[in-house]
Amino acid sequence: MKRITLHPGDLHVSSDPAITLSTLLGSCVSACLYDPVNGVFGMNHFLLAAKSYTGAAFSFESQSGRYGINAMELLINDMLAMGAIRSQLKAKVFGGANVLSSLSGGVFAIGDVNARFITSYLQNEKIPVVASDLGGARGRQIHFQGADFSVFVKLLGQENAHQVISRERHYLDKAIHEQERLGDENNVTFL
């Protein structure tokens, strides 16, 4: 078995049954999509639902994979390009814990917004959700098996909470720094 680890903003698509896709989630969400007939599967990992949900608090210059709306479109398009058929797609979704609510200044809980987004998005796209584990206050480690499309979920204890928060905060800080750098290079002012 070959394990591929996804970080916030990543996605991976494959048809190799020997591949396992893994990630660590806090307030982030991962959608595990698969076409059981054609054997194509993929997973994404996004931190924020969409720019419109974040207000001025969090917005990024490059939206590729960082926002759920873009991450979902990229994942679906990559799967279709690999031979999946849209009407055969099924979903398993995970994450959306409220581990980063302090970063939003208490305005909203990022995990709740992400969980509502993925549920609504898949319903609107008519992609059935066959399994989910969303919300709560604890992070999750997930492993999506290409052999049978099963997902193994491990809820993380408090001893792991710091690691999840640290990883998500690092990603968020890095993305904001990148946006500020791009703004300086392009003489753009962020309000």
Q: CATH: 1.10.150.120, 3.40.1120.10, 3.30.1330.200, 1.10.4190.10. Which one for 2-185? A: 3.30.1330.200
Q: Where are the beta strands (DSSP E) in the chain?
A: 2-5, 11-14, 19-25, 29-35, 40-44, 90-95, 129-134, 140-145, 151-155
CA distance 77 to 86: 9
Model pLDDT, residue 58 = 43
Model pLDDT, residue 130 = 98
- Is residue 126 predicted with pLDDT exceeding 90? yes
- Is residue 152 predicted with pLDDT exceeding 90? yes
- 11: which strand partners? 44
Q: Give 177's pLDDT tier (boundaries 50, 70, 90).
A: low
Written as six digits, the tokens of 112 are 């709740």
Find out whether 168 and 26 touch, Cβ atoms under 8 Å.
Answer: yes
- 154: which strand partners? 141
Q: Which of 93-97, 101-105, 136-140 bottoms out in mean pLDDT, i.e. has the lowest? A: 101-105
Over residues 14-56, the pLDDT tens digits come to 999 999 999 999 889 999 999 999 999 999 999 877 655 444 4
Q: What is the mean pLDDT of the chain?
A: 81
Residue percentage of the chain with pLDDT more than 70: 69
- Is residue 153 predicted with pLDDT exceeding 60? yes
Across residues 2-20, what is the average pLDDT?
A: 95
- Is residue 99 predicted with pLDDT exceeding 80? no
Q: pTM of this prediction?
A: 0.77
Q: Where are the domains of the chain?
A: 2-185
Q: Give 169's pLDDT tier (boundaries 50, 70, 90).
A: low
Model pLDDT, residue 42 = 98
- Is residue 12 predicted with pLDDT exceeding 90? yes
- Is residue 185 predicted with pLDDT exceeding 80? no
Q: Which amino acid, 121?
A: Y
